[in-house]
Structure 1
Amino acid sequence: MSVKERDPLTGYLTTGHEWNGITELNTRVPRAVWFFIIVTHIWALIAWILLPTWPLVTTYTKGILGLNQGEEVAEKVIAANVARSGWADLITAAPVNDILQDPELLALATGTAHQIFGDNCAGCHGLDAGGGPGFPSLIDDMWLWGGDPESIMETLRVGINAPHPDTRYAQMLAFGRDGMLGREDIRIVVDYVQSLSGTEIPPDRAAAGAEIYADNCASCHGETAMGDTEQGAPNLTDAFWIYGGDDTAMFETIWNGRQGWMPAWEGRLSETERKILTVYLTDLRQEAPQ
């Protein structure tokens, strides 16, 4: 028969296990631990009874309280739509310029638009709508397809190079890759285009660039290189460049071409939501320093 040993310091029985001179004591579980275990089990039992809990074959236990978060969310959405319907109808009926002149309607539109823009547009154009490499700024006056409210509404509706049947189509040809222009010709026309916004180049290079431009670029960007909003062709005489205006970026643009893309929002955003975005962007542009 084994004799149980006690730890001489604490008086607790030992388990008989020892590791490197350290003896394991057979101590009691602290009361606080038992209290915690009992309370949590009681609470779990109460939750099982009161709340939706256990999954069944085709349903789940509903609980005595009969709570349903799905129904609660649906009710809140309905209530929000009812609260919104009054001023949303006013925005739907009013022209964009009238909304911009009405401080109350403008505040309602821009307050809602911030969320719509963040969910749908900020991923490309940035939270401040300032754009970035490959994505145009929406707070300046350089709009490829026109920056008036009607043009913005239409662009939002049909997109650019999108699957929508009425989408806007625009593509910069790959003049170098497809063999229409050689490297030196592209370098010359790059210098010429940069000279349109103030860079000085030799007269003979400017003349050669003007000829290349007239033969290959003027049909889209115009004889004066001021662009054409009917074709989505940008102005080449200002300092606004979507893909960059330095030598390397411009050479890449002319050599390989460009084809931007914007989704058509008609299937995702309602006409009222698209108008709210139009008001928001117009208001941003008016407030932004140019």
Structure 2
Amino acid sequence: MANKRIDEPTGTRTVGHEWDGIEELDTPLPRWWLWTFYLTVVFAIGYVIAYPAWPMIDKATQGVLGWTSRGQLAKEMTAADQARATMREQLARTPIERLGEDSELMQQAVAGGAAAFRVNCVQCHGSGAAGSQELGYPNLNDDDWLWGGDLKAIHYTLTHGIRQPGDDETRTSQMPPFAGAFDNAQLDQLVDHVLSLSGKAESSRAGAQLYADNCVACHGASGGGNRELGAPRLNDAIWLRGSSREAIKRQILDPRMGMMPKWEGRLDPVTVKMLAAYVHSLGGGEDFIEVAKDPEVEVDEQP
């Protein structure tokens, strides 16, 4: 106390400490700061009483409100499960071909299908669903479909698979091998005609005749394909196994036929519907009415 004095320039008492001629003023705290501090003390006391706060050996104090973060999470999870169950019940009742009539339900189905796709389909079709020409996995983002790209057709393919052993309703197509059927000149002529269907080469009369004799029955006169048979279009720029001359020759001589597993029995029916909705949403999905207007595409109403 003996060292305390009033600082003349400021009129404030010093605290009595001095070091190398420097003294500290005993400036009082601002009143607003003190009241804020007191309020935080009151809030802390109230929080400790109302909520879990003090850790003990195997648990924390309960708090008079009985609230816990685990309890809140359980309520949110229960609410989410109930909403999901309601959505799945709606999906189960909705025929796949009418799913697009309910935009909200369709959005929920697409979201659920995206999750199912990441678990079950990316191994072959890739994370972006672009497929692989080298392995013969189709690109699901384009608008080229062997069996149809409307919701009902996609759902049927997912349900029964492609060339799935043990399923009498599976999609099945078989291109015969033509190894030994043509000499080298004829094979080149036929490849030229196939490429000419998409404007990639010039055809000859001999090549056109070879195509008419061996390929028209499945692929159509102009290469439009046939969805009843699973015969691909040859007059567009989309190729499952590649569009090079070597790739086309290989497919003519020794066709490579892929297999897709059926998901009926592996996944529940609602999940299969959601997968169909997601695949349809990728960009290549089509409406049945629009497809039926295309004279180059033969569509079966029973996919």
* TM range, smaller chain: 0.5 to 0.7
Q: Which runs of no fewer than 5 residues in structure 1 stay unpaired?
A: 1-49, 51-76
Displacement of 1:270: 1.9
Q: CA separation in 1, counterparts of 2:209 and 2:157?
A: 33
Q: Tell me, in whole angstroms, the C-alpha distance in 2 between the residues paired with 1:245 and 1:155.
A: 25
Q: Counterpart of 2:163 in structure 1: which amino acid?
A: N
Closer, same or farther: CA 78–250 of 1 in aligned 2, 3 Å: farther
Equivalent residue runs for 1:1-290 within 5 Å: 83-96=83-96, 98-133=98-133, 134-163=136-165, 164-176=167-179, 179-201=180-202, 205-285=203-283
Cα distance in 2, alignment partners of residues 228 and 184 from structure 1: 28
Task: Indicate how the Cα distance of structure 1 residues 244 and 211 shifts in structure 2: closer, same or farther if over 3 A, else same.
Answer: same
Equivalent pairs counted in the alignment come to 208
- Following superposition, the deviation at residue 126 of structure 1 comes to 1.3
| CA distances 1:229-283 after superposition (whole Å, capped 9, x unpaired) | 0010000000000000011111111111121111111111222111111111112
CA distance in 2, matches of 1:221, 1:248: 20
TM-score (ref. length: structure 1): 0.66
**RMSD of the alignment, in Å?**
2.4
**Which has the larger Rg?**
2
In 1: Cα distance, 2:243 partner to 2:139 partner:
15
Distance across 1 between alignment mates of 2:84 and 2:139: 30
Using the TM superposition, give the Cα deviation of residue 156 of structure 1 relative to its aligned residue in structure 2, in angstroms: 0.8
How far apart in 2 are the matches of 1:221 and 1:78? 53
How far the C-alpha of 1:104 sits from its partner, in A, is: 2.8
Letter in 2 for 1:172: M
- The answer to whether the Cα contact below 8 Å between 2:160 and 2:261 also exists between their aligned partners in 1 is yes
C-alpha distance in structure 2 between counterparts of 1:191 and 1:89, whole Å: 53
Look up the equivalent residue of 1:194 and give its one-letter code.
L
In structure 2, what residue type is equivalent to 1:220? C
1:96 to partner: Cα distance: 4.4
CA distance in 2, matches of 1:159, 1:286: 19
Deviation for aligned residue 1:183: 2.8
Are the aligned partners of 2:113 and 2:274 in contact in 1 as well (CA < 8 Å)? yes
What is the CA-CA distance between 1:135 and the residue it aligns to? 1.1
Supply the distance in 2 between the matched residues of 1:85 and 1:106 (Cα, whole angstroms). Answer: 15
**2:109 match: secondary structure:** helix
Q: CA deviation at 1:86?
A: 0.9
Which residue of structure 2 lines up, in the alignment, with residue 28 of structure 1?
none
CA distance in 2, matches of 1:243, 1:273: 30
The verdict on how the C-alpha distance between 1:241 and 1:287 changes in structure 2, with shifts beyond 3 A counting, is: closer
Identity of aligned residues (%): 40
Shift in CA distance, 286/263, structure 1 to aligned 2, threshold 3 Å: closer
Q: Deviations over 1:150-175 (max 9, x none)?
A: 11111111111111221111122211
Contact 1:125 1:135 in 2 (8 A): yes
TM-fit CA distance, 1:180: 2.2
Q: Stretches of 4+ moved more than 3 A in 1?
A: 77-83, 95-103
8 Å CA contact 1:186, 1:255 repeated in 2? no
The aligned amino acid for 1:209 is: G
How far the C-alpha of 1:88 sits from its partner, in A, is: 0.6
Corresponding letter in the other structure for 1:222: G
Distance 1:287 1:147, change over 3 A: closer
Give, as a single letter, the amino acid of the residue that structure 1 aligns with 2:245.
D
Q: Distance in 1 between matches of 2:157 and 2:273?
A: 11
Aligned to 1:41: none
Query: In structure 2, how many angstroms separate the alpha carbons of the residues matched to 1:223 and 1:89?
Result: 46
- Which has the higher mean CA deviation after the structures are superposed, 93-102 or 119-128? 93-102
